Amino acid sequence: MEQRDLAWWETAVIYQIYPRSFQDSNGDGIGDLPGITSRLEYVANLGVDAIWISPFFKSPQKDFGYDVSDYCDINPEYGTLEDFDRLTERAHDLGLRVMIDIVPAHCSDEHPWFEESRQSRDGPKADWFHWVDPKPDGSAPTNWLSFFGGRAWTWEPRRQQYYLHNFLPGQPNLNHAHPEVRKAFEDIAHFWFERGVDGFRLDAVHTINADSAPYNDNAANLNFVPGKLPQEQQPFFRQLHDTAQLNQPLIQSFSESIRAVADSFGDKFLMGELHGDDPIKASETFTAEGRLHATYNFNLLAWAGLDVDGLRGAITDAIDAFNGTGRLTFAFSNHDVPRSGTRQLAPLGLQAHQAEDMQLLLLKLETCLIGSTCVYQGEELALSDVRDIPVCQMQDPWGIEFAPEFLGRDTCRTPMVWSAHAPNAGFSTANKTWLPIAEAHIARGGLDQAAKPSSLYNQFAEFLDWRKTQPAFMQANEMSALSGAEHIIQFDRISPTQTLRCSFDFKELTARFEEI
């Protein structure tokens, strides 16, 4: 095996911060950038390599920052650009890289680009979005459906045309076939790289629309059978099974243009979030030469969790395609799926009292796989998913649309807890927080756990410290095929100077490592 120096991102453990729920610094019940800065030492002491901060840009917050009205400024409830600069400086002082969440597929309907575009068919930004004439009967141009329910087309009377939105009507899709749209995102990348950002997590890149007319219907799903949310057999997930609407070939013009900007700044990292019928094939396309460095892999994020066979299959599919590379980022939890501390219990045949041991085992497993890893805030505390939020207090538009049958994403977004002895568990001094503090979380406050030598936080920190000393993890992204008994996932990590056998026992909830 030829030895080469790996880029930082090829082995990175990245800590995801959902800013609205991490730490409130000004008592308004909403997390903010100064709050994040105040907790960076806690993150650094865990031993991770980078932070990824979900969107904090100016936004009407219809989808909590994933509807951007200004990509180069901060939403006032989160702070200012000066606050961001202080955050970046502090993170770098602590040895943490900083990644931010760019949303390239769509912006807010309150963005000046869209406000101008919707006025007429003749303005400078008339073609920055997907505007299409109605069918002769006045109906929408295609059968495309939104992820959040309903048509993916909304009528604009000023233009007498429909515009495309794969998510909320307030999130119009940008036309990435337009060279000025690509140039605008190159400028956005320059802006943030010049401020010291080390990388981007690129949101839902498979939903970028660059192909234009003719707009074709998605193929009929002849095997459609209604199912419970959030299964893909819901009608509005039909677009996942066809390339007319998603994973369009011309998306790669965006991938290549933003990679060129990243390369001009040196050691930057581009991680694209994508999904689809064949995410491995899509990942290979997005990470081809001159495109994104890696894709954020959904294989381990199944909404209902995975049993050991499911885990084994998900890992094998990814490794078969990407072994020897750092072009994958693994995760067990994020801000869009139920927390793994709850989601994985039933599939693995475990009880609630085993959640902490299970969580540690999952954290060790994902950080032993090739490529990078994203750890969602609170995983290091084994926080549970919160499924008792009253409908009247729900915030997620997806959950509000389909509650009580489907609770959406609020269940994993409740505020971080820091101390059992502080108001709102240390998150905020406000009388009311944007989502309620989970009572079940209070005993697991981050600062309280960091002070306990035997806590999950400190066990994981010790493991990450050990991991950095192992050439098999840090010098190469090579691993063997999976093996092991029915309840065990076992593989070798291989470098020119070390072969390390890694064994994860989901019956005993223990991990073993042996140099061979």
Helix (H, G, I), strand (E, B) or coil at 167: coil
The answer to whether the beta carbons of residues 498 and 478 sit under 8 Å apart is no
Between 252-264 and 179-194, two packed helices, what is the crossing angle to 10 degrees?
30
Q: What is the 3-state secondary structure (H, E, C) of 283-317?
A: HHHHCCCCCCCEEECCCCCCCCCCCHHHHHHHHHH
* Catalytic residue of the set 10, 24, 109, 273: 273
Residue of 295, 253, 266, 291 whose CA lies nearest to 278: 295
Residue of 242, 223, 209, 16 whose CA lies nearest to 106: 209
Establish whether 203 is a catalytic residue: yes
Q: How far is CA 133 from the centre of its chain?
A: 34
The answer to whether the beta carbons of residues 250 and 157 sit under 8 Å apart is no
The answer to whether the beta carbons of residues 430 and 257 sit under 8 Å apart is no
CA distance 107 to 65: 10
Q: Is the omega angle on the peptide bond into residue 214 within 30 degrees of 0, that is, cis?
A: yes
Q: What share of the chain is helix, strand, coil (3-state, %, to 5)?
A: 35, 15, 50
CA distance 168 to 306: 30
CA atoms within 13 A on the CB side of 492: 9
CA distance 275 to 440: 32
* Catalytic residue of the set 24, 32, 156, 203: 203
Residue of 456, 432, 436, 435 whose CA lies nearest to 445: 456
What is the gyration radius of the CA atoms in the chain, in angstroms? 22
With the C-alpha atoms ordered 334, 340, 346, 352, is the resulting torsion angle positive or negative?
negative
CB atoms under 10 Å from CB of 241, counted, come to 17
Q: Which residues are catalytic?
A: 203, 273
